[in-house]
């Protein structure tokens, strides 16, 4: 049963029912923008926003994001996708066409630290993060009451290095049942197996402190304090099988000094983590990210 307060986004969906987004990657060449613009104009679509980037006009790669309004878009979905394929083949494009009213369905994974989870759910409740959240999954029970206060189902699946595959089988079954589009690791302190990551390639967003690779493992803030670091920060990225080395989506930092104790570093680190993660998730659900090699282009 879907959470009742998911209905808060129905007005948004109705308002955006005729809006679509195109994300395109292809070799840079003449005529790309003209061809795409003409295609949209032929279908009575009006371009609302367009951003583009070229790595090198002479033989580089070209990236573009276009947001558009199109009358009766819902009835034209299949036609637009079929007819755009001709242009895509002509320019050797990798492309996605998404429809704004089809909200992304996110599953949030969390462990004991709840600061990122709290920020995500508050932004969602305020309608500043527009997506559906069918469930929150945790390997600990601490978040249950907080999550359910938003009308969102909470699922406790104990997970550790000894039962990882069994836990992931339960998780994957839930994700499939709820038709999940994106997984948000909001301080979920478990390593995902390669099979899990492959199933949701470029659809798992993680957050971690930005001391890496200097302070790998437990108690990074204590060791950073011992070294007298002057900057702390956070990194949000897509998850790959190279631990904490996936394509970076967003980062931020804050200057600290010798006056700051370990708890001050941790407090400021949590503040940065939660804001960085929310921005990364927002850009993903707003279709503003193109992954190319091990980098991201963000419009």
Sign (positive/negative) of CA torsion 186, 188, 191, 192?
negative
Q: Are residues 128 and 240 in the same domain?
A: yes
Task: Kindly report the CATH number assigned to the domain that includes residue 64.
Answer: 3.30.70.260
User: Considering the domain boundaries, does residue 9 fall inside one?
Assistant: no
Q: Are residues 159 and 266 in the same domain?
A: yes
Q: 115 and 164, same structural domain?
A: yes
Q: pLDDT 10s digit of each residue in the chain, 299 long? A: 444 455 667 778 888 899 999 999 999 999 999 999 999 999 999 999 999 999 987 889 999 999 999 999 999 999 999 999 999 999 999 999 999 999 999 999 999 999 999 999 999 999 999 999 999 999 999 999 999 999 999 999 999 888 999 999 999 999 999 999 999 999 999 999 999 999 999 999 999 987 656 777 778 888 888 888 888 899 999 999 987 789 999 999 999 999 989 999 889 999 999 999 999 999 999 999 999 989 999 99
Exactly one of 244, 260, 287, 293 is catalytic; name it.
244
Same domain for 41 and 92, yes or no, is yes
End position of a domain, from candidates 46, 75, 99? 99
Residues 47 and 142 in one domain: no
Domain extent, residue 267, equals 105-298
Classify residue 12: in a domain, yes or no: no
177 in the same domain as 273: yes
Annotation says 244 is catalytic: yes
The rounded distance, in Å, linking the Cα atoms of 105 and 15 is: 19
CATH number at residue 113: 3.40.50.170
Residues 137 and 260 in one domain: yes
Per-residue model confidence (pLDDT) at position 161: 85
In a domain, 37, yes or no: yes
Residue 76 and residue 121 in one domain: no
- The whole-number pLDDT of residue 12 equals 80
Which of 78, 99, 120 represents a domain boundary (last residue)? 99
1 belongs to a structural domain: no
Does pTM surpass 0.75? yes
The pLDDT value given to residue 1: 45
Instruction: Give the count of domains, the chain.
Output: 2
Are both 143 and 285 inside the same structural domain?
yes
Q: Which of 42, 76, 99 represents a domain boundary (last residue)?
A: 99
- The verdict on residue 2 lying in a domain is no
Residues 130 and 268 in one domain: yes
CA max distance for the chain = 63
Shared domain for 155 and 273, answered yes or no, is yes
Same domain, 76 and 111: no
């Amino acid at each position: 049963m879907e959470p009742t307060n998911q209905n808060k986004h129905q007005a948004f969906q109705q308002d955006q029912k005729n809006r679509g987004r195109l994300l395109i990657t292809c070799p840079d060449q003449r005529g790309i923008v003209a061809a795409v613009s003409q295609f949209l104009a032929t279908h009575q679509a009006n371009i609302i926003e367009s951003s583009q980037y070229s790595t090198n006009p002479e033989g580089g790669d070209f990236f573009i994001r276009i947001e558009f309004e199109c009358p009766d878009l819902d009835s034209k979905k299949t036609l637009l996708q079929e007819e755009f394929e001709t242009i895509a083949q002509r320019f050797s494009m990798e492309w996605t066409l998404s429809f704004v009213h089809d909200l992304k369905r996110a599953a949030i994974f969390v462990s004991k630290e709840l600061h990122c989870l709290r920020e995500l759910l508050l932004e969602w409740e305020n309608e500043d993060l527009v997506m559906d959240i069918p469930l929150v999954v945790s390997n600990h029970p601490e978040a249950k009451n907080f999550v359910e206060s938003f009308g969102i189902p909470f699922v406790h699946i104990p997970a550790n290095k000894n039962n990882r595959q069994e836990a992931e089988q339960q998780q994957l079954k839930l994700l499939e049942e709820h038709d999940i589009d994106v997984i948000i690791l909001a301080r979920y302190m478990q390593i995902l197996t390669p099979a899990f990551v492959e199933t949701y390639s470029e659809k798992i967003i993680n957050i971690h402190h930005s001391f890496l690779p200097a302070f790998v493992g437990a108690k990074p803030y204590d060791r950073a304090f011992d070294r007298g670091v002057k900057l702390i920060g956070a990194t949000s990225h897509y998850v790959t099988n190279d631990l904490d080395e996936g394509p970076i989506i967003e980062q931020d930092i804050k200057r600290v000094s010798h006056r700051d104790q370990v708890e001050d570093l941790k407090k400021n680190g949590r503040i940065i983590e939660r804001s960085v993660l929310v921005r990364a998730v927002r850009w993903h659900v707003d279709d503003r990210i193109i992954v190319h090699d091990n980098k991201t282009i963000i419009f």
